[in-house]
Structure 1
């Protein structure tokens, strides 16, 4: 199979697979919002400052974006678009950002689920 053919095939997911991706993205955004867990190892030390009140939600979001953007745009998206296979960098780094960015607890899973649906 040529690279062109693989890249042109896109993502063909069953409904169950689509719903699984949406649910996982919603869950990971919610968990990131609650500062319980994040996918990006580099963001984890900054969560302690956020939990202890030494930094704000927006500052923690900025750190998460700064540490994740290169992986998302430089590794996750190109790999997914060239191979037609989803990878965790493309799915879960943005949900870290969206979960931390969300000002309300109920909004985080909605934003994460919306990312999963895209």
Structure 2
């Protein structure tokens, strides 16, 4: 009985891990739509996604942090890395800045580059 339970748990774990890897490695860009907001392009590198795993601050939350601080419209969010930590590179249109980096662990705004306005 105990052996059968152990085998069942091990098989279930391998199935879940395989599903996570398969979905993380498809490498396709996606579209994110925040509640009440416009859709934006979402780019997640499969290798970074696998290395960092789930992040406390997702792309939609990072977009909300940036637009509340700088205004404008998010056009793209891309998972990247800075100093060994996951970050979201948020691209903006119609704002004081064109790109802002947000820490994907704590939501801190790290850097902003001048926009076209």
Tell me the TM-score normalised to structure 2 length.
0.24
More strand by share: 2
Higher helix share: 1
